[in-house]
A = this chain, B = another copy of it.
Amino acid sequence: MAIAQGGTPYKRGKTFDTVDSLLIRSLFDEALTNGQSYSQLNYLCKVIGARITGSRQAKDALDWAQQEVAGYATDRVYRQTVEAEHWIRGDKQSVRLNGAVEILLKSCALGGSVSTDGPLRGQVIEVNGIEDLNNHNPGDFKGKIVFYNEPMDKKKINTFEAYGACVSQRYSGASEAAKYGAIGVLVRSLTTLTDDFAHTGSMGYNPEIRKVPAAAISTRDADALSQYIADNDTAIITMDFNCYTAKKPVMTYNLIAEITGSENPKQIIAFGAHIDSWDKGEGAHDDGAGTVQCMEVLRLFREVGIRPRNTIRMVLYMNEENGNRGGKTYARRAKLADESHLCAIESDRGGFSPRGFSIDATSDQIAHIASWESLLDQYGLHFFKKGYGGVDIGPLKIRENQVDSNLFLMGLYPDPQRYFDYHHSDDDVFENVNQRELELGGASIASMVYLVDKYWYSFVK
Protein backbone atom coordinates (compact mmCIF):
# COMPACT_ATOMS: atom_id res chain seq x y z
CA MET A 1 0.00 0.00 0.00
CA ALA A 2 1.47 3.33 -1.01
CA ILE A 3 -0.24 6.49 0.10
CA ALA A 4 0.72 9.78 -1.48
CA GLN A 5 1.19 12.54 0.99
CA GLY A 6 2.58 15.26 -1.24
CA GLY A 7 -0.55 17.27 -1.81
CA THR A 8 -1.79 17.91 1.69
CA PRO A 9 -0.53 20.89 3.65
CA TYR A 10 1.41 20.48 6.88
CA LYS A 11 -0.70 20.97 9.92
CA ARG A 12 -0.37 20.72 13.62
CA GLY A 13 -3.64 19.18 14.49
CA LYS A 14 -5.36 17.18 17.16
CA THR A 15 -7.48 15.53 14.53
CA PHE A 16 -6.36 12.71 12.32
CA ASP A 17 -7.72 11.30 9.18
CA THR A 18 -8.52 7.75 8.27
CA VAL A 19 -5.20 7.54 6.47
CA ASP A 20 -3.33 7.79 9.77
CA SER A 21 -5.39 5.08 11.30
CA LEU A 22 -4.94 2.80 8.31
CA LEU A 23 -1.24 3.47 8.02
CA ILE A 24 -0.56 2.74 11.64
CA ARG A 25 -2.65 -0.42 11.35
CA SER A 26 -0.52 -1.43 8.37
CA LEU A 27 2.71 -0.84 10.28
CA PHE A 28 1.56 -3.13 13.08
CA ASP A 29 0.12 -5.74 10.72
CA GLU A 30 3.36 -5.91 8.77
CA ALA A 31 5.48 -6.12 11.92
CA LEU A 32 3.34 -8.88 13.45
CA THR A 33 2.97 -11.02 10.34
CA ASN A 34 6.18 -10.50 8.34
CA GLY A 35 8.42 -8.88 10.95
CA GLN A 36 12.16 -9.40 10.50
CA SER A 37 13.27 -8.15 13.90
CA TYR A 38 12.99 -11.47 15.72
CA SER A 39 15.04 -13.47 13.24
CA GLN A 40 17.53 -10.60 13.04
CA LEU A 41 17.83 -10.62 16.82
CA ASN A 42 18.41 -14.36 16.66
CA TYR A 43 21.32 -13.78 14.29
CA LEU A 44 22.74 -10.89 16.28
CA CYS A 45 22.61 -12.89 19.53
CA LYS A 46 23.44 -16.41 18.44
CA VAL A 47 25.76 -15.97 15.47
CA ILE A 48 27.48 -12.73 16.49
CA GLY A 49 26.97 -12.70 20.25
CA ALA A 50 28.00 -10.19 22.89
CA ARG A 51 29.68 -7.14 21.34
CA ILE A 52 31.55 -4.84 23.63
CA THR A 53 33.20 -1.81 21.99
CA GLY A 54 36.47 -2.80 20.38
CA SER A 55 35.63 -6.48 20.08
CA ARG A 56 35.54 -8.46 16.88
CA GLN A 57 31.83 -9.05 17.53
CA ALA A 58 31.12 -5.32 17.65
CA LYS A 59 32.68 -4.95 14.23
CA ASP A 60 30.82 -7.99 12.90
CA ALA A 61 27.56 -6.53 14.17
CA LEU A 62 28.17 -3.27 12.30
CA ASP A 63 29.01 -5.12 9.09
CA TRP A 64 25.95 -7.28 9.40
CA ALA A 65 23.57 -4.41 10.21
CA GLN A 66 24.90 -2.36 7.31
CA GLN A 67 24.22 -5.22 4.91
CA GLU A 68 20.75 -5.78 6.29
CA VAL A 69 19.57 -2.18 6.02
CA ALA A 70 21.20 -1.76 2.61
CA GLY A 71 18.39 -3.96 1.36
CA TYR A 72 15.72 -1.60 2.68
CA ALA A 73 15.76 0.93 -0.14
CA THR A 74 17.20 3.61 2.07
CA ASP A 75 18.71 6.62 0.33
CA ARG A 76 21.95 6.65 2.25
CA VAL A 77 23.80 4.22 4.51
CA TYR A 78 27.08 5.34 6.04
CA ARG A 79 29.38 5.05 8.99
CA GLN A 80 30.43 7.75 11.35
CA THR A 81 33.82 7.23 12.96
CA VAL A 82 33.82 6.96 16.74
CA GLU A 83 36.93 6.88 18.90
CA ALA A 84 36.40 4.96 22.10
CA GLU A 85 38.16 3.18 24.91
CA HIS A 86 38.59 -0.55 24.71
CA TRP A 87 38.11 -2.35 27.99
CA ILE A 88 39.02 -6.03 28.18
CA ARG A 89 37.72 -8.37 30.87
CA GLY A 90 40.70 -10.72 30.80
CA ASP A 91 40.64 -14.34 31.89
CA LYS A 92 40.95 -14.08 35.65
CA GLN A 93 37.78 -13.38 37.53
CA SER A 94 37.15 -14.49 41.08
CA VAL A 95 35.96 -13.30 44.47
CA ARG A 96 36.59 -15.73 47.33
CA LEU A 97 35.23 -15.48 50.82
CA ASN A 98 38.04 -16.84 53.00
CA GLY A 99 36.18 -18.49 55.86
CA ALA A 100 36.62 -21.88 57.50
CA VAL A 101 35.72 -23.14 54.07
CA GLU A 102 36.59 -20.97 51.09
CA ILE A 103 33.54 -19.91 49.12
CA LEU A 104 33.65 -18.72 45.54
CA LEU A 105 31.13 -15.91 45.03
CA LYS A 106 29.41 -15.33 41.68
CA SER A 107 31.17 -12.23 40.48
CA CYS A 108 32.39 -10.20 37.54
CA ALA A 109 34.51 -7.10 37.22
CA LEU A 110 32.62 -3.88 36.59
CA GLY A 111 33.26 -2.44 33.16
CA GLY A 112 36.14 -0.01 33.31
CA SER A 113 37.65 -1.49 36.45
CA VAL A 114 41.39 -1.78 36.82
CA SER A 115 43.00 -5.14 37.49
CA THR A 116 43.68 -6.34 41.03
CA ASP A 117 47.29 -6.90 40.01
CA GLY A 118 47.30 -10.42 41.45
CA PRO A 119 45.18 -11.61 44.38
CA LEU A 120 43.92 -8.73 46.49
CA ARG A 121 43.01 -9.75 50.03
CA GLY A 122 41.30 -7.66 52.64
CA GLN A 123 38.63 -7.38 55.27
CA VAL A 124 35.19 -6.52 54.00
CA ILE A 125 33.15 -3.65 55.39
CA GLU A 126 29.50 -3.54 54.32
CA VAL A 127 27.73 -0.26 53.61
CA ASN A 128 24.26 0.48 52.32
CA GLY A 129 25.21 2.70 49.39
CA ILE A 130 27.34 5.83 49.10
CA GLU A 131 25.38 7.95 51.56
CA ASP A 132 25.91 5.30 54.21
CA LEU A 133 29.63 5.17 53.35
CA ASN A 134 29.94 8.89 53.93
CA ASN A 135 28.17 8.60 57.28
CA HIS A 136 30.79 6.18 58.60
CA ASN A 137 33.90 7.11 60.50
CA PRO A 138 36.38 7.96 57.68
CA GLY A 139 38.97 5.74 59.32
CA ASP A 140 36.77 2.64 58.99
CA PHE A 141 37.77 1.86 55.43
CA LYS A 142 41.53 2.20 55.35
CA GLY A 143 43.05 -0.92 53.78
CA LYS A 144 39.63 -2.57 53.57
CA ILE A 145 37.36 -3.80 50.79
CA VAL A 146 34.07 -1.92 50.75
CA PHE A 147 30.93 -3.97 50.02
CA TYR A 148 28.10 -1.79 48.71
CA ASN A 149 24.89 -3.65 49.41
CA GLU A 150 22.08 -1.20 48.72
CA PRO A 151 19.28 -3.18 47.07
CA MET A 152 16.99 -1.94 44.35
CA ASP A 153 13.68 -0.82 45.82
CA LYS A 154 11.15 -3.45 44.75
CA LYS A 155 8.28 -1.10 45.54
CA LYS A 156 9.00 1.08 42.51
CA ILE A 157 6.62 0.08 39.74
CA ASN A 158 9.00 1.68 37.26
CA THR A 159 12.10 -0.40 37.92
CA PHE A 160 14.26 2.21 36.16
CA GLU A 161 13.57 4.55 39.07
CA ALA A 162 14.79 1.91 41.50
CA TYR A 163 17.90 1.45 39.36
CA GLY A 164 18.55 5.19 39.16
CA ALA A 165 18.28 5.50 42.94
CA CYS A 166 21.17 3.15 43.67
CA VAL A 167 23.33 3.00 40.54
CA SER A 168 25.75 5.55 42.03
CA GLN A 169 27.27 2.84 44.25
CA ARG A 170 28.23 0.95 41.10
CA TYR A 171 29.34 3.92 39.01
CA SER A 172 31.17 5.99 41.65
CA GLY A 173 31.59 3.52 44.49
CA ALA A 174 35.24 2.71 43.80
CA SER A 175 36.54 6.29 43.95
CA GLU A 176 34.24 7.18 46.83
CA ALA A 177 35.66 4.31 48.88
CA ALA A 178 39.25 4.83 47.74
CA LYS A 179 38.96 8.39 49.03
CA TYR A 180 38.91 6.81 52.51
CA GLY A 181 41.77 4.44 51.74
CA ALA A 182 39.78 1.39 50.63
CA ILE A 183 41.71 -1.04 48.42
CA GLY A 184 38.82 -2.54 46.47
CA VAL A 185 35.07 -2.58 46.09
CA LEU A 186 32.33 -5.18 45.77
CA VAL A 187 28.88 -4.09 44.63
CA ARG A 188 25.56 -5.88 44.99
CA SER A 189 24.25 -6.63 41.49
CA LEU A 190 21.56 -4.24 40.36
CA THR A 191 18.57 -6.48 39.82
CA THR A 192 15.20 -6.81 41.53
CA LEU A 193 15.65 -10.59 41.53
CA THR A 194 17.42 -12.76 44.02
CA ASP A 195 19.49 -14.67 41.50
CA ASP A 196 22.87 -16.25 40.81
CA PHE A 197 24.08 -13.92 38.07
CA ALA A 198 26.65 -11.19 38.52
CA HIS A 199 25.27 -8.14 36.68
CA THR A 200 28.04 -5.93 35.32
CA GLY A 201 27.78 -2.28 34.29
CA SER A 202 29.86 0.81 33.83
CA MET A 203 31.93 2.50 36.49
CA GLY A 204 34.16 5.55 36.35
CA TYR A 205 37.11 6.79 38.31
CA ASN A 206 37.67 10.20 39.79
CA PRO A 207 41.04 11.08 38.21
CA GLU A 208 42.29 12.62 41.43
CA ILE A 209 41.84 9.46 43.48
CA ARG A 210 43.76 6.19 43.32
CA LYS A 211 42.02 3.64 41.10
CA VAL A 212 40.92 0.53 42.97
CA PRO A 213 39.29 -2.54 41.41
CA ALA A 214 35.52 -3.02 41.53
CA ALA A 215 33.36 -6.08 40.95
CA ALA A 216 29.70 -7.03 41.11
CA ILE A 217 28.49 -10.09 43.02
CA SER A 218 25.14 -11.79 42.58
CA THR A 219 22.28 -10.69 44.82
CA ARG A 220 22.05 -14.15 46.39
CA ASP A 221 25.74 -14.02 47.26
CA ALA A 222 25.38 -10.43 48.47
CA ASP A 223 22.68 -11.58 50.89
CA ALA A 224 24.86 -14.47 52.01
CA LEU A 225 27.92 -12.27 52.45
CA SER A 226 25.90 -9.78 54.47
CA GLN A 227 24.70 -12.61 56.71
CA TYR A 228 28.26 -13.89 57.06
CA ILE A 229 29.46 -10.46 58.14
CA ALA A 230 26.64 -10.25 60.69
CA ASP A 231 27.51 -13.67 62.08
CA ASN A 232 31.29 -13.31 62.23
CA ASP A 233 33.69 -10.80 63.65
CA THR A 234 35.53 -10.33 60.41
CA ALA A 235 35.07 -11.38 56.82
CA ILE A 236 38.10 -11.65 54.57
CA ILE A 237 37.79 -11.56 50.81
CA THR A 238 40.25 -12.25 48.03
CA MET A 239 39.55 -10.59 44.69
CA ASP A 240 41.44 -11.58 41.57
CA PHE A 241 40.75 -9.82 38.28
CA ASN A 242 43.02 -9.05 35.36
CA CYS A 243 40.78 -6.74 33.38
CA TYR A 244 42.29 -3.65 31.83
CA THR A 245 41.71 -0.76 29.49
CA ALA A 246 43.81 -0.93 26.33
CA LYS A 247 46.38 1.83 26.06
CA LYS A 248 45.18 2.91 22.63
CA PRO A 249 41.60 3.87 21.90
CA VAL A 250 39.84 1.97 19.13
CA MET A 251 38.40 3.50 16.00
CA THR A 252 34.87 2.24 15.58
CA TYR A 253 31.59 3.52 14.13
CA ASN A 254 28.02 4.55 14.44
CA LEU A 255 25.95 3.14 11.61
CA ILE A 256 23.52 5.56 10.00
CA ALA A 257 20.81 4.88 7.42
CA GLU A 258 18.40 7.45 6.03
CA ILE A 259 15.32 7.91 3.94
CA THR A 260 15.50 11.43 2.54
CA GLY A 261 12.55 13.70 3.24
CA SER A 262 10.44 14.52 0.22
CA GLU A 263 9.67 18.09 1.24
CA ASN A 264 11.99 19.06 4.00
CA PRO A 265 15.11 16.94 3.55
CA LYS A 266 17.27 18.99 5.89
CA GLN A 267 14.97 18.42 8.83
CA ILE A 268 15.88 15.19 10.60
CA ILE A 269 13.89 12.78 12.73
CA ALA A 270 16.41 10.43 14.32
CA PHE A 271 15.64 7.10 15.93
CA GLY A 272 18.16 4.67 17.24
CA ALA A 273 19.56 2.18 19.67
CA HIS A 274 23.01 1.01 20.64
CA ILE A 275 24.55 -1.85 18.75
CA ASP A 276 27.28 -2.49 21.31
CA SER A 277 26.55 -4.52 24.43
CA TRP A 278 28.31 -5.72 27.51
CA ASP A 279 30.45 -8.82 27.15
CA LYS A 280 27.99 -10.91 29.20
CA GLY A 281 25.17 -13.00 27.74
CA GLU A 282 24.19 -11.88 24.24
CA GLY A 283 23.05 -8.31 24.73
CA ALA A 284 19.58 -9.45 23.70
CA HIS A 285 17.35 -6.99 25.56
CA ASP A 286 20.25 -4.53 26.03
CA ASP A 287 20.21 -3.48 23.29
CA GLY A 288 19.91 -6.04 20.58
CA ALA A 289 16.16 -5.52 20.85
CA GLY A 290 16.39 -1.78 20.20
CA THR A 291 18.84 -2.37 17.37
CA VAL A 292 16.58 -4.71 15.40
CA GLN A 293 13.49 -2.62 16.17
CA CYS A 294 15.12 0.44 14.62
CA MET A 295 16.26 -1.55 11.59
CA GLU A 296 12.67 -2.77 11.32
CA VAL A 297 11.35 0.81 11.25
CA LEU A 298 13.15 1.39 7.92
CA ARG A 299 11.75 -1.85 6.52
CA LEU A 300 8.24 -0.98 7.69
CA PHE A 301 8.37 2.43 6.02
CA ARG A 302 9.35 0.74 2.77
CA GLU A 303 6.84 -2.11 2.98
CA VAL A 304 3.91 0.10 3.94
CA GLY A 305 5.01 2.64 1.35
CA ILE A 306 5.42 5.73 3.50
CA ARG A 307 7.50 8.46 1.97
CA PRO A 308 8.47 10.81 4.79
CA ARG A 309 8.39 14.59 4.40
CA ASN A 310 11.36 15.09 6.67
CA THR A 311 14.45 12.95 6.54
CA ILE A 312 14.16 9.96 8.84
CA ARG A 313 17.43 8.62 10.09
CA MET A 314 18.27 5.42 11.91
CA VAL A 315 21.37 5.63 14.09
CA LEU A 316 22.95 2.53 15.61
CA TYR A 317 25.24 3.96 18.24
CA MET A 318 28.46 2.32 19.36
CA ASN A 319 29.80 2.36 22.91
CA GLU A 320 26.69 3.29 24.89
CA GLU A 321 27.65 0.83 27.60
CA ASN A 322 31.10 2.00 28.51
CA GLY A 323 31.73 5.56 27.49
CA ASN A 324 28.83 6.76 25.34
CA ARG A 325 31.31 7.88 22.73
CA GLY A 326 28.84 7.02 19.97
CA GLY A 327 26.09 9.29 21.28
CA LYS A 328 28.52 12.10 22.05
CA THR A 329 30.17 11.85 18.65
CA TYR A 330 26.84 11.86 16.88
CA ALA A 331 25.76 15.02 18.69
CA ARG A 332 29.08 16.78 18.10
CA ARG A 333 29.07 15.97 14.40
CA ALA A 334 25.44 17.06 14.06
CA LYS A 335 26.34 20.44 15.53
CA LEU A 336 29.45 20.82 13.39
CA ALA A 337 27.40 20.11 10.28
CA ASP A 338 24.68 22.45 11.55
CA GLU A 339 22.10 19.73 11.11
CA SER A 340 18.56 20.41 12.26
CA HIS A 341 16.98 17.66 14.35
CA LEU A 342 13.28 17.81 14.94
CA CYS A 343 13.18 14.91 17.34
CA ALA A 344 15.29 11.97 18.46
CA ILE A 345 13.84 8.65 19.61
CA GLU A 346 15.70 5.86 21.39
CA SER A 347 14.86 2.26 22.21
CA ASP A 348 17.02 1.02 25.08
CA ARG A 349 14.72 -0.35 27.76
CA GLY A 350 14.43 -3.91 26.46
CA GLY A 351 12.22 -5.71 23.98
CA PHE A 352 9.17 -6.00 26.21
CA SER A 353 5.53 -5.18 25.50
CA PRO A 354 5.51 -1.45 24.69
CA ARG A 355 3.38 0.86 26.81
CA GLY A 356 4.27 4.23 25.32
CA PHE A 357 7.03 6.79 25.38
CA SER A 358 8.98 8.60 28.06
CA ILE A 359 9.31 12.15 26.73
CA ASP A 360 11.94 14.78 27.41
CA ALA A 361 10.16 17.86 26.11
CA THR A 362 8.17 20.92 27.09
CA SER A 363 4.68 20.38 28.49
CA ASP A 364 3.26 21.82 25.30
CA GLN A 365 5.17 19.32 23.21
CA ILE A 366 4.17 16.45 25.50
CA ALA A 367 0.53 17.45 25.35
CA HIS A 368 0.73 17.42 21.57
CA ILE A 369 2.23 13.93 21.51
CA ALA A 370 -0.24 12.69 24.11
CA SER A 371 -3.09 13.90 21.88
CA TRP A 372 -2.22 10.98 19.56
CA GLU A 373 -3.21 8.47 22.22
CA SER A 374 -6.55 7.82 20.55
CA LEU A 375 -4.64 6.49 17.53
CA LEU A 376 -2.14 4.46 19.53
CA ASP A 377 -4.00 3.17 22.55
CA GLN A 378 -5.44 0.18 20.67
CA TYR A 379 -1.85 -1.05 20.35
CA GLY A 380 -1.31 -0.87 24.09
CA LEU A 381 0.37 2.55 23.94
CA HIS A 382 -1.03 4.75 26.66
CA PHE A 383 2.02 6.13 28.45
CA PHE A 384 3.06 9.56 27.13
CA LYS A 385 4.68 11.27 30.05
CA LYS A 386 7.57 13.53 30.89
CA GLY A 387 10.68 11.52 31.47
CA TYR A 388 14.11 10.54 30.31
CA GLY A 389 14.79 10.09 26.60
CA GLY A 390 17.93 7.97 26.57
CA VAL A 391 21.69 7.90 27.02
CA ASP A 392 22.58 8.05 23.33
CA ILE A 393 20.27 10.87 22.33
CA GLY A 394 20.83 12.96 25.46
CA PRO A 395 23.91 14.84 24.18
CA LEU A 396 21.96 16.06 21.14
CA LYS A 397 19.76 18.26 23.28
CA ILE A 398 22.65 20.29 24.67
CA ARG A 399 23.92 23.10 22.45
CA GLU A 400 26.70 25.30 23.77
CA ASN A 401 25.85 24.19 27.30
CA GLN A 402 22.23 25.21 26.81
CA VAL A 403 19.25 22.90 26.51
CA ASP A 404 17.75 23.07 23.04
CA SER A 405 14.08 23.13 23.91
CA ASN A 406 12.85 22.89 20.34
CA LEU A 407 14.36 19.47 19.99
CA PHE A 408 12.46 16.83 21.90
CA LEU A 409 13.60 13.36 22.88
CA MET A 410 11.58 10.21 23.36
CA GLY A 411 12.44 6.82 24.77
CA LEU A 412 10.28 3.84 23.93
CA TYR A 413 8.77 2.77 27.25
CA PRO A 414 8.13 -0.98 27.39
CA ASP A 415 6.74 -2.74 30.42
CA PRO A 416 9.63 -2.44 32.89
CA GLN A 417 9.04 -5.42 35.22
CA ARG A 418 11.49 -7.92 33.70
CA TYR A 419 14.28 -5.69 32.39
CA PHE A 420 16.60 -5.89 35.39
CA ASP A 421 16.18 -9.67 35.62
CA TYR A 422 18.47 -9.92 32.61
CA HIS A 423 20.28 -6.59 32.49
CA HIS A 424 24.08 -6.81 31.99
CA SER A 425 24.17 -10.49 32.93
CA ASP A 426 24.81 -13.85 31.31
CA ASP A 427 21.04 -14.26 31.25
CA ASP A 428 20.45 -11.48 28.72
CA VAL A 429 19.97 -13.96 25.91
CA PHE A 430 17.71 -14.33 22.90
CA GLU A 431 15.49 -16.93 24.61
CA ASN A 432 14.31 -14.28 27.06
CA VAL A 433 12.89 -12.05 24.34
CA ASN A 434 9.32 -12.64 23.23
CA GLN A 435 8.68 -12.32 19.52
CA ARG A 436 5.38 -10.43 19.68
CA GLU A 437 6.57 -8.05 22.35
CA LEU A 438 9.68 -7.25 20.32
CA GLU A 439 7.69 -6.75 17.12
CA LEU A 440 5.18 -4.43 18.77
CA GLY A 441 8.08 -2.22 19.84
CA GLY A 442 9.35 -1.77 16.29
CA ALA A 443 5.88 -0.91 15.02
CA SER A 444 5.42 1.53 17.91
CA ILE A 445 8.58 3.44 17.00
CA ALA A 446 7.60 3.44 13.34
CA SER A 447 4.16 4.84 14.23
CA MET A 448 5.70 7.58 16.32
CA VAL A 449 8.17 8.51 13.57
CA TYR A 450 5.28 8.61 11.11
CA LEU A 451 3.17 10.89 13.30
CA VAL A 452 6.01 13.27 14.16
CA ASP A 453 6.94 13.44 10.51
CA LYS A 454 3.43 14.25 9.47
CA TYR A 455 2.26 16.60 12.20
CA TRP A 456 5.23 18.47 13.55
CA TYR A 457 6.27 20.83 10.81
CA SER A 458 4.74 24.00 12.20
CA PHE A 459 6.59 23.68 15.47
CA VAL A 460 9.99 24.12 13.92
CA LYS A 461 9.36 26.74 11.27
Tell yes or no: A365 within 8 A of B by CB.
no
Residue of B nearest to A435 (CB): B193
User: How far, in angstroms, from A20 to B55 measured CA to CA in the complex?
Assistant: 53
Q: Which residues of B contact A434 (CB under 8 A)?
A: 417-418, 421
Contact B415 A29 (CB under 8 A): no
Q: Which residues of B contact A220 (CB under 8 A)?
A: none
Q: Tell me the smallest distance from the CB of A128 to a CB of chain B, in Å.
A: 16
Q: Mark A280-312, 1 if CB is under 8 A from B, else 0.
A: 000000000000000000000000000000000
Residue of B nearest to A438 (CB): B417
Select one of B32, B157, B382, B437 contacting A155, CB under 8 A. B32
Tell yes or no: A409 within 8 A of B by CB.
no
User: How far, in angstroms, from A383 to B193 measured CA to CA in the complex?
Assistant: 27
Q: Which of A412-428 contact B (CB under 8 A)?
A: 415, 417-418, 421
Contact A380 B355 (CB under 8 A): yes
Q: Which of A158-173 contact B (CB under 8 A)?
A: 159
User: How far, in angstroms, from A434 to B195 measured CA to CA in the complex?
Assistant: 13
User: How far, in angstroms, from A353 to B352 measured CA to CA in the complex?
Assistant: 11
Q: Which residues of B contact A436 (CB under 8 A)?
A: 154, 159, 192, 417-418
Chain A contact residue count (CB 8 A cutoff):
26
Tell yes or no: A28 within 8 A of B by CB.
yes
Given the known interface contacts A32-B154, A193-B435, the answer about A382 and B382 at a Cβ–Cβ threshold of 8 Å is: yes
Tell yes or no: A455 within 8 A of B by CB.
no
Tell yes or no: A458 within 8 A of B by CB.
no
Q: Which of A382-396 contact B (CB under 8 A)?
A: 382-383
User: How far, in angstroms, from A205 to B194 measured CA to CA in the complex?
Assistant: 48
User: How far, in angstroms, from A33 to B380 measured CA to CA in the complex?
Assistant: 27
Q: Which residues of B contact A32 (CB under 8 A)?
A: 154-155
Q: Which residues of B contact A33 (CB under 8 A)?
A: 154-155
Tell yes or no: A244 within 8 A of B by CB.
no
Most buried by B among A353, A379, A417: A417
Contact B421 A28 (CB under 8 A): no
Q: Which residues of B contact A18 (CB under 8 A)?
A: none
Most buried by B among A380, A415, A440: A415
Q: Which residues of B contact A227 (CB under 8 A)?
A: none
Q: Which residues of B contact A415 (CB under 8 A)?
A: 353, 380, 415
Residue of B nearest to A443 (CB): B157
Select one of B193, B355, B417 contacting A437, CB under 8 A. B417
Residue of B nearest to A157 (CB): B379
Given the known interface contacts A417-B353, A418-B437, A434-B421, the answer about A28 and B155 at a Cβ–Cβ threshold of 8 Å is: yes
Tell yes or no: A137 within 8 A of B by CB.
no
User: How far, in angstroms, from A360 to B29 measured CA to CA in the complex?
Assistant: 28
Tell yes or no: A378 within 8 A of B by CB.
yes
Q: Mark A20-36, 1 if CB is under 8 A from B, else 0.
A: 00000000110011000
Q: Mark A21-60, 1 if CB is under 8 A from B, else 0.
A: 0000000110011000000000000000000000000000
Most buried by B among A33, A157, A382: A157
User: How far, in angstroms, from A442 to B141 measured CA to CA in the complex?
Assistant: 44
Contact A157 B28 (CB under 8 A): yes
Residue of B nearest to A382 (CB): B382
Residue of B nearest to A356 (CB): B382
Q: Tell me the smallest distance from the CB of A48 to a CB of chain B, in Å.
A: 23
The 5 closest A-B pairs by CB, nearest first: A417-B436, A353-B415, A32-B154, A382-B382, A29-B155
| Residues of chain A having any CB pair with chain B under 8 Å | 28-29, 32-33, 154-155, 157, 159, 192-193, 353, 355, 378-380, 382-383, 415, 417-418, 421, 434-437, 440
Given contact pairs A159-B436, A192-B436, enumerate 11 new A-B contacts (beta carbons under 8 Å): A28-B155, A29-B155, A33-B155, A157-B380, A193-B435, A353-B415, A353-B417, A355-B380, A382-B383, A415-B415, A417-B436
What are 12 of the A-B contact pairs (CB < 8 Å)? A28-B155, A28-B157, A32-B154, A32-B155, A157-B379, A353-B353, A382-B382, A415-B415, A417-B437, A418-B434, A418-B436, A418-B437
